[in-house]
């Protein structure tokens, strides 16, 4: 995927097909936008919604000749064809994710939040973060990057760069939990964070929330967005609200 948007303009014929049948034919002066993920949008003079579009097609073919340009986008049984009769323009423009600003990159560009990642709009450096993480108004003392805050049994902060300061390390330092068997629960990182007992082999995924006392079964309880619950999601002794 290229970090650029292609913009073409012209007096065009637009055809949308589904299942081999032509469902829509349009003609007029339009602007065609081809996004970095290959989404094709055809805009006319009216409103904000495209007159025709195809989202993330599997194939986009672009050709041109003396008469102008042709875009042929297909995805499964959908097809969008745009042919210019008169071409008004053809250009490429830089494109990046647009999101709330959350700090400054080493290159001087702005970091923005884009779902489960933080991206620099200038150099395109990016860092994956948990979707429930909050980027806080602090910087890492080692590398200078912004810090993030997550709740995994305890509320902890860590560097945006997991190689610099893993979230798992911050959670390990914050939690001192005991298994129902009496053994110590260690924190392991394996496709998410888990509390693991070396004595009995119990393994529990750390939920999003903070410690809220103990469950009747002997495990820690956690206060989550959906209420107070046992660390063991299958525990039959649901803890009562504090």
- Mean per-residue pLDDT for 133-143? 91
pLDDT tens for 58-112 read 999 999 988 899 999 999 999 999 999 999 999 999 988 899 999 989 899 999 9
pLDDT tens for 150-195 read 999 999 999 999 899 999 999 999 999 999 999 999 999 988 899 9
pLDDT tens for 226-236 read 899 999 989 87
Average pLDDT of the chain?
Answer: 92
CA distance 44 to 90: 16
For the sheet with 59-65, list strands across it. Answer: 52-54, 40-43, 21-34, 4-18, 78-94, 68-75, 59-65
Class of domain 4-94: mainly beta
User: Which range is least confidently modeled, 5-9, 39-43, 104-108?
Assistant: 104-108
Please name the residue that has the structure tokens 């989550």: 224
CA distance 146 to 140: 6
pTM of the model as a whole: 0.72
Residue 21: Cβ-neighbour burial (10 angstroms; 0-12, 13-18, 19+): exposed
Domain limits, the chain:
4-94, 101-171, 175-230
pLDDT at 237 > cutoff 90:
no
pLDDT tens for 111-129 read 999 989 999 999 889 999 9
| Residue 148 tokens, joined | 């993030």
């Amino acid at each position: 995927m290229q970090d650029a948007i292609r913009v073409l303009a012209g007096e065009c014929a637009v055809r949308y097909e589904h299942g081999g049948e032509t469902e829509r034919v349009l003609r007029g002066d339009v602007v065609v936008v081809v996004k970095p993920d290959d989404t094709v949008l055809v805009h006319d003079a009216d409103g904000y919604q495209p007159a025709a579009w195809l989202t993330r097609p599997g194939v986009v073919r672009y050709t041109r000749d003396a008469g102008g340009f042709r875009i042929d986008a297909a995805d499964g049984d959908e097809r969008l064809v745009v042919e210019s009769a008169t071409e008004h323009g053809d250009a490429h423009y830089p494109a990046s994710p647009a999101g709330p600003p959350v700090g400054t990159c080493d290159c001087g560009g702005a970091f923005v939040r884009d779902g489960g990642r933080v991206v620099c709009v200038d150099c395109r450096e990016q860092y994956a973060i948990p979707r429930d993480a909050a980027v806080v108004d602090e910087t890492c003392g080692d590398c200078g990057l912004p810090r993030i805050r997550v709740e995994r049994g305890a509320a902890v902060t860590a560097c945006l760069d997991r190689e610099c300061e893993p979230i798992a390390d911050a959670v390990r330092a914050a939690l001192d939990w005991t298994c129902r068997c009496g053994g110590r629960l260690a924190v392991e990182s394996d496709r998410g964070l888990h509390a693991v007992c070396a004595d009995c082999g119990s393994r529990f995924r750390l939920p999003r929330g903070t410690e809220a006392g103990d469950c009747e079964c002997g495990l820690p309880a956690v206060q989550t967005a959906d209420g107070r619950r046992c660390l063991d999601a299958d525990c039959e002794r649901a803890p009562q609200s504090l």
